[in-house]
């Protein structure tokens, strides 16, 4: 079989390769990976079985199994049409913490073999590290004994138990875990255990029942919110091999989905031949890429950093832009990185956008202002798309993502102004005002992490919007109150609806306050600002104060429900304060 030229940053593994050689390759990539360098890697497993199945029966004395940590800026994916076409006997693990980002697994079956955690896949990550289309024949450990702020699971089946860890425990073996998580359209046959701040499930068979809010018991209030279905969703496209030919599977949007979308006999999506794609390399410029798009090609971005002197323009309905190995777009002349025209059904997936040194007004624009050609049945979708303002350089962008098209969908994102990267050197260096602006109507956001922007994290102007799971933090690097003034009002909301919004729904918010570098207390008026009228509702909101000087005076508008140290107690060890709002308005 002849493979396309995917360039030097794509590694193809074959089941005929010796296990030791496969492990050496995987471990070398992990050792060389660096979240702030330009290296990116996509590892693909051709159909077949990897590692010895017998090792599953001798976990603590196993030999001949796949064994590697997955490093940053690395994606590992099976090349089968179904997850069961690529079987991994072993572990592709991450034992991480709050700083474990940008890595993923997709489209394979894993029979977990791990002498340190027999029968369980350990995937202990924070943001931008999803599991998609994975079939785990065993347990899934998301955080036992560690503290993490992760991530998302979609279209995945776990035969055993999913354990997010006990974030409510302290000074006992195994204490710690995920603070929050979002799981979507999956099957957890053994259920889910674990507790901490806020967990949201939509369309998950085996999800725990909703218990958010006050409950009897020594471990404090409940932290789970479960929706029977996901109103609208689209899974990530993926590369696969069938009878020696490379193709891309592009999932259709699912309405009111529940459970996995594979293994059902009829795939829910379209198969596109590889020759329908322009296979871009990091050496290609914007003009070359745009010419291919204008000529009717879809776009496959091989791993690397694309330094763009002009935006990538998507103008054809149904275009697919698919990244490999955290391929990264970076504007170098202060333009946008990606502009999507007023056309429906565009799918952008599995890539990163980094701000450049020259300020961009908007990094990702979905539809021009006033766009009106969105489709409810075939929404333009951003799936596993991430933004970074401040990485190895002090990038700048006024707004990171702007959604102008109606019915657009975001399915899992981390929109991030850097707080711990080499380029995050101060309030003015990696400047970013707003993370996400939504102007379109009937826009749906699923599993959004938006953090550290200098003004609002999310500013929503459109009607009929909906967010299911949202995690956010304000900037940590404001030095004085004057840095955080919204006119005469102190601070900015994490999530703000314009006064003109008539209908909106928000479910499952985890809002973390902090001010680690201030020389004085940073007071902020409201965590969420929204018109109080019929048609606008929020539920399962947790406000948290982590550390530093300051507080939020109100959870919603001017409701008086303050969040700050010594104002309300915390039900999570290591966190200064926590407050829950079960429902707003008219809630507890």
Residues marked as catalytic: 473
Coil, helix or strand at residue 462: coil
What is the enclosing helix (H) or strand (E) of 26? helix 19-32
Positive/negative CA dihedral, 172, 127, 400, 558: negative
Closest-CA residue to 248 (of 260, 232, 236) = 236
The contacts of residue 275 (CB under 8 Å, 6+ apart) are none
Distance separating the N- and C-terminal Cα atoms of the chain: 62
Closest-CA residue to 382 (of 433, 314, 310, 295) = 314
Q: Assess contact for 464 and 444: CB atoms under 8 A.
A: no
User: Nearest 10 degrees: CA dihedral of 171, 570, 183, 164?
Assistant: 10
SS3 content of the chain, % helix, strand, coil (to 5): 5, 45, 45
Q: Assess contact for 130 and 384: CB atoms under 8 A.
A: yes
Residues 579 and 541: their CA atoms lie apart, in Å, by 8
Residues 451 and 457: their CA atoms lie apart, in Å, by 6
Q: Assess contact for 301 and 328: CB atoms under 8 A.
A: no
**HSE value, Cβ hemisphere, 13 Å, CA-based, for 353:** 33
């Amino acid at each position: 079989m002849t493979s396309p030229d995917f360039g030097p940053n794509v590694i193809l593994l074959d089941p005929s390769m010796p296990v030791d050689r496969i492990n050496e390759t995987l471990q070398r990539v992990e050792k060389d990976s660096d979240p702030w360098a330009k290296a990116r890697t996509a590892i693909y497993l051709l159909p077949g079985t990897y590692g010895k199945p017998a090792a599953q029966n001798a976990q603590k004395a196993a030999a001949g199994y796949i064994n590697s940590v997955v490093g940053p800026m690395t994606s590992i994916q099976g090349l089968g049409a179904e997850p069961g076409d690529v079987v991994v006997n072993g572990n592709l693990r991450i034992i991480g913490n709050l700083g474990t980002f940008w890595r993923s697994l997709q489209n394979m079956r894993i029979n977990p073999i791990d002498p340190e955690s027999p029968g369980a896949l350990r995937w202990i990550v924070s943001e931008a590290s999803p599991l998609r289309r994975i079939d785990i024949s065993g347990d899934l450990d998301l955080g036992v004994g560690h503290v993490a702020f992760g991530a998302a699971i979609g279209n995945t089946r776990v035969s055993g138990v999913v354990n997010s860890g006990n974030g409510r425990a302290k000074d006992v073996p195994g204490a710690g875990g995920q603070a929050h998580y979002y799981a979507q359209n999956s099957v957890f046959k053994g259920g889910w255990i674990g507790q901490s701040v806020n967990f949201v499930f939509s369309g998950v068979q085996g999800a725990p029942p909703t218990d958010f809010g006050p409950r009897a018991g020594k471990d404090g209030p409940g932290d789970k919110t479960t929706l029977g279905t996901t109103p609208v969703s689209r899974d990530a496209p993926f590369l696969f091999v069938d009878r020696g030919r490379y193709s891309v599977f592009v999932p259709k949007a699912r309405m009111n989905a529940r459970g996995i979308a594979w293994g059902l006999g009829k795939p829910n999506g379209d198969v596109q031949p590889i020759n329908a794609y322009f296979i871009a390399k990091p050496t290609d410029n914007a003009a070359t890429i745009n010419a291919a798009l204008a000529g009717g090609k879809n776009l496959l971005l091989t791993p690397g950093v694309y330094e763009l002197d002009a935006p990538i323009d998507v103008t054809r309905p149904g275009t697919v832009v698919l990244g490999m190995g955290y391929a990264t777009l970076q504007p170098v002349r202060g333009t946008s990185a990606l502009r999507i025209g007023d056309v429906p059904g565009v799918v952008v997936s599995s890539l990163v956008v980094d701000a450049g040194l020259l300020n961009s007004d908007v990094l990702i624009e979905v539809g021009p202002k006033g766009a009106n050609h969105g489709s409810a049945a075939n929404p333009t979708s951003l799936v596993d798309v991430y933004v970074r303002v401040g990485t190895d350089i002090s990038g700048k962008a006024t707004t990171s993502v702007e959604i102008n098209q109606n019915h657009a969908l975001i399915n899992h994102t981390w929109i991030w102004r850097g707080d711990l990267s080499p380029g995050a050197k101060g309030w003015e260096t990696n400047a970013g005002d707003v993370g996400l602006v939504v102007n379109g109507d009937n826009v749906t956001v699923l599993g959004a992490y938006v953090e550290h922007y200098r003004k609002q994290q999310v500013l929503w102007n459109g009607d009929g919007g909906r967010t299911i799971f949202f995690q956010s933090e304000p900037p940590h690097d404001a030095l004085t109150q004057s840095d955080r003034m919204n006119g005469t009002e102190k601070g900015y909301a994490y999530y703000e609806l314009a006064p003109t919004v008539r209908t909106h729904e928000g479910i499952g918010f985890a809002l973390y306050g902090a001010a680690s570098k201030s020389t004085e207390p940073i007071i902020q008026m409201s965590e969420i600002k929204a018109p109080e009228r019929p048609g606008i509702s929020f539920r399962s909101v947790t406000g948290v104060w982590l550390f530093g000087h300051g507080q939020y005076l109100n959870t919603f508008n001017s409701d008086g429900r303050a969040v700050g140290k010594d104002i309300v107690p915390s039900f999570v060890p290591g966190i200064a304060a926590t407050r829950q709002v079960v429902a707003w308005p008219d809630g507890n």
